[in-house]
Amino acid sequence: MGKVISGKELSLKKRAYMKNEVIKLENKYGRKPHLAVILIGDDPGSVSYVKGKEKACLEVGVKNTTIVRPKDITQEELLSIIHDLNCDPYVDGILVQLPLPSHINQTFIINSISPDKDVDGFHPQNVASLYLKQPGIIPCTPKGIIEVLDSENIDIEGKKACVVGRSNIVGLPVSKLLLDKNATVTIAHSRTKNLKEVTKNADILIIAVGKPLFIKEDMVKPGAVVIDVGVNRHPITNKLCGDVDFDNIKDKASFITKVPGGIGPMTISCLIENTIECFLKHVED
């Protein structure tokens, strides 16, 4: 059986380390890093994600403010909240929980967050920095994926990596990070023909599609490293599950992550890390 990499354990270690760092930072600078989260509406998924972020802040000792507004908030009102947070010298990170209600222009909102407080790394300036290999904020999930690979000293250089999914928040940025580590990267998507032939070639297979148990055993190369980013409800049990048919693939892979307890907790730990990085920029500038 391949090794199941526990993102949960890794993220607990990361949080314990960051907790110590935050104590030192507070002693040195007289305040803690501060993350502001804006939650619009009461979508259960979004509420649960925000709770996970609050819990992680508490664990690490990062100050957290969650601003909750009803789903009929106007775009102007939301922009005004972001403007105030942008101007507040004691706020280091701003996260707007996505998705937003359809009457609000998501791109416009993301672009209104000050790039030096954009802990999600979604602002065009941070996106450009990633692609140009300049200092900036790296999106949390891709960062977490690379840390998971690094935690097992998985060799990336020269390997064939296949990323299934090309979203701005997972597929594209993780492809760029793999490329920066000298993998030969193939990006597959909904129009890819013969997907199985593509995935079967990969030494490292990253799946971010959002379809329960989408990747089957015959789509995986023996000994491949399989990273499952998907978060779905199982169609029969309604339990959380990933994009990968874990039970049937775990024996074929050399390393594999599980859902839940894989990339999800690492994403949140990387969010806290990004908040600390933003704090350091603010206090040292």
Binding site for ligand NDP (CB under 6 A): 141, 164-167, 169-171, 188-192, 195, 208-210, 229-232, 263-264, 267
Report the C-alpha gap between 48 and 71 in whole angstroms: 16
Residue number, 100 or 169, with CB nearest to ligand NDP: 169
Residue number, 81 or 145, with CB nearest to ligand NDP: 145
* Cβ–Cβ < 8 Å for 104, 75: yes
Contacts of 27 (CB under 8 A, 6+ apart): none
The dihedral through the CA atoms of 172, 173, 174, 179 has a sign that is: positive
Length of the chain in terms of residues written:
285
In single-letter form, the type of residue at position 252 comes to K
Report the C-alpha gap between 12 and 112 in whole angstroms: 32
* Cβ–Cβ < 8 Å for 36, 85: yes
Shortest Å, Cβ 43 to ligand NDP: 13
Shortest Å, Cβ 265 to ligand NDP: 8
SS3 163: strand
Residue number, 29 or 101, with CB nearest to ligand NDP: 101
DSSP string, 209-248: ---TT-B-GGGS-TT-EEEE---EE-TTT--EE-SB-HHH
| CA 147 from centre of chain | 11
Shortest Å, Cβ 216 to ligand NDP: 12
Give the H/E segment covering residue 158: none
Report the C-alpha gap between 129 and 135 in whole angstroms: 6
Shortest Å, Cβ 260 to ligand NDP: 9
Kindly list the catalytic residues.
Answer: 53, 97, 120
SS3 24: helix
In single-letter form, the type of residue at position 141 comes to T
Report the C-alpha gap between 141 and 269 in whole angstroms: 10
Shortest Å, Cβ 190 to ligand NDP: 3
